[in-house]
Amino acid sequence: MTGQRFDRDLSVLLQELGDRPMPEYRHRIVERAGGMRQRPAWTFPSRWLPKELVMDIPMTALRPIAAPTRRLGLVLAVAALILVLLVLALGAGRRTTPPFGVARNGQLIYVANGDVLVRGTPTSPARALVSSPERETFAYFDRGGERFVFFRETTADDFDVWMGDADGSDVHRLAGPFHDMQWWDWSTDGSAFAMEVLDASEISRVVIVPTDGSAARTLPMLAQSPVWRPGHPDQLLVRTHVDGAWRLAIVDPATGTITRRLDLPVSRQFDLMHPSWSPTGDRLVFDSQASDEIPSWRIHVARIADDGSVVSQTPLEFDPDAVAEGYAAFMPDGVNLLYAPHYDSGNEIRIGRADGVGGSRRLGPADTGEGLLYEISPDGTTVEVVSYARMRSWTVDVASGETTDLELGPDLPASWQRRAP
């Protein structure tokens, strides 16, 4: 072949090489798809980002890293579940489960094939907690480990919120229907469950669903990412749009009013994302863009006073070669951060000190798919990771890095019940 022909006809030659008969196996594909369920739209983390951003970000950067109480948006994020201390004054000798910080690992709860299942350990046999003709999706224990909330689909995108006791009894409907959940968090005392959902105009709203059966209420502002502040049951942090920019603000959940706007610098549309509190509620970790490139997030840790004022803010960069570092959550010890960086070569889960000292190390295998979800065990010894691209999940021992494959299915990660130490 001449160089001239190569330059001129490469496309034509490839068309000829790739020109094959209509595949007969297409009928098998269609038949197999007929037996497969589609993933509900709300399970895609990309849903929380504007369409134009989704189109411009490589999918691997958009994968949800689901924190135990986090959004199901584009990019991966799974933050550790920060549990509030529940004080049960029922008599001497009863141990209470701290709602945040280190606790003992209880059962794992997860959803598979439309049912809510539990396991004693990641690899022990499963038993159904809720099994019905309807399709259950998403399930999460409260911070005291006494009850769990789950969703029951009403349509492909809509769902009702249900609740039951940890042993599967007293299952009852709380509220709904809601549409397209993006983020969630249990209140510090288990009295309410906050969610970011989309309203009929696809606008993000934060809804607070009381667990006593009283009416759910929607915060009267555009809001995202609700996270209750440990040790401050009257402080619900949200990301909201005010004065022309997205900001983090503390809301009184009882009245729905902003009591404090966090004085954190914001300059780009996707700053102040994925907030997560430390177990003691004195620090807040979040992501802000490092440049106009998308994604370019870097992690920031801010010290927040009791009244919500910002004491200090420290940017972290564990690895300058990472395309983005974000979706961080404090480990139960409050010392380390788990986070999910994105590299040209793929995605990882890594752990490093929250003060940035000493760099970070990878936990488990890197993944070249579309991002990873993670959940942190209450005792901080184990991280569960899900790769949607590979439809696999595994646990990682934090100390040794040893991984164990799980067979929980490709849905959201299982999450642990917190038990008293």
Between residues 11 and 201, which has the closer beta carbon with respect to other proteins? 11
Nearer to other proteins, 19 or 170 (CB): 19
Give the total residue count for the chain: 421
CA distance 279 to 82: 6
How far is 118 from 110, CA to CA, in rounded Å? 6
Q: Does 54 bind other proteins (CB under 8 A)?
A: yes
Select from 55, 90, 357, 399 the one that contacts other proteins (CB under 8 A).
Answer: 55
Query: Shortest Cβ distance from residue 81 to other proteins (Å)?
Result: 24
User: Least distance to other proteins from the beta carbon of 295, Å?
Assistant: 11
Characterize 264-294 residue by residue with b for buried, 16 or more Cβ atoms within 10 angstroms of its Cβ, and e for exposed.
Answer: bebeeebbbbbbbbbbebbbbbbbbbbeeeb
Q: Judged by CB under 8 A, does residue 56 bind other proteins?
A: yes
> Which residue in the set 10, 87, 242, 311 belongs to the binding site for other proteins (CB under 8 A)?
10
Does residue 292 bind other proteins (CB under 8 A)?
Answer: no
Give, in degrees to the nearest 5, the angle at Cα 324 between 110 and 318. 95
Q: Is residue 200 near other proteins by the rule CB under 8 A? A: no
Nearest to 361 by CA among 318, 404, 299: 318
The contact pattern for other proteins, residues 97-136, with x = CB under 8 A and - = no contact, is: ----------------------------------------
Contact track, other proteins, 296-335, x by CB under 8 A: ---------------------------x------------
The reply on whether position 32 binds other proteins by CB under 8 A is yes
130 and 115 Cβ atoms separated by less than 8 Å: yes
Q: How far apart are CA 76 and CA 82, in angstroms?
A: 18
Neighbours of 55 (CB within 10 A): 9
Give the E-state strand segments of 120-191 in sequence order.
126-130, 136-141, 147-153, 158-165, 172-179, 183-186
Partners of 153 in the β-ladder: 159
Q: How far is the CB of 8 from other proteins (least distance, A)?
A: 12
Binding residue for other proteins, selected from 389, 406, 408, 414, defined by CB under 8 A = 389
**Residue 16 C-beta: closest distance to other proteins, Å:** 6
Size of the site for other proteins (CB under 8 A): 55
